[in-house]
Every structure is written in structure tokens, then in C-alpha cells.
Amino acid sequence: MKTHSIPVRVYYEDTDAGGIVFYANYLKFCERGRTEYLRFCGFEHKQLRDEKGLIFVVRRLEADYLQPAHLDDELSVHTSVGEVKNASFAMRQDVMRGKTTVFNMTVWLVCVNLEGRPVRLPDELKKVLEKG
């Protein structure tokens, strides 16, 4: 399974009053990781939307908050592809501080047209995700 990683620094805006990463910001970190994974594979959200009329929406996610991350921590988001179906796929994401996992989740995404109706993944994208 191919894994793509991006670095993330925790800024003041990412934290709560106690200097701990606000829980919803892990979802933002992971969104960046998914976007960069797709870009690494040759598929950009804007291009898919503009040229093919496709976007991805989150259908479901399961998340585990394992340890707090703090202001100024250097984190990395590791993204890999799980199950791939005709119109949807799952991605596994781990947010790490060094070798320690602080957060992980699995997210299920659905490919939809601009009217919000599920559509098949483009063949070229499906092939890349299946190799993932």
C-alpha cells in the first residue's frame, strides 16, 4: 500500500485555550493530506471539477484521538488508500509526531457530479487508487 506524507506544523490558530490542537483541526490536517495524495497521483480537485464535473464528498469517517498534539509540534500526515469501489473509496490517515501516532482515521469518500449525485470514478483514477 502506497503511503504519501506531508508535514504539518501546529500554529496558534490550530489550538484551543490550553495550547492543545482543537479536535476538528485534525480533520483539516487530513483533508490537506488527501488533497496532496491525489495531487501526487496526478489528480487535482480543481481539474477534476472543471474538466470532468466531479468532486468528492465525505460519506463517513471513523476517528481516534490517541494523544494530544500541542502548539508548535511538528506533525506529519500519512495517507494511504483502502478499499476502492465503483463510485467510492476509503483512505486511512495517521497523524504522527515523530514515530508516535496522535490521531488516526478512516474516511470514506464518494465521487459525485456537480448536482451531488454519485457517479463512477474515472477509470484512470480508479486504476491509480487500486494500485495505491
Instruction: Check which CATH number belongs to the domain holding 22 and give it.
Output: 3.10.129.10
- Count the domains in the chain: 1
Beta strands in the chain (DSSP E): 3-9, 54-65, 74-84, 88-97, 100-113
Beginning with the edge strand found earlier in the chain, give each strand of the sheet holding 3-9 in spatial order. Answer: 3-9, 74-84, 88-97, 100-113, 54-65
Predicted confidence (pLDDT) at residue 1 exceeds the cutoff of 60: no
Cα-only R_g, the chain: 15
Residue bearing the bigger pLDDT, 36 or 132? 36
Parent domain of 14: 3-131
Handedness of CA 44, 48, 54, 4 (dihedral sign): negative
Q: Which of 16, 50, 64, 72 is flagged as catalytic?
A: 16
pTM of the complete model: 0.94
pLDDT band at 104 (very low <50, low <70, confident <90, very high): very high
Q: Is 16 a catalytic residue?
A: yes
Helix/strand/coil for 48: helix
Mean pLDDT of the 20-45 span? 96
Helix/strand/coil for 64: strand
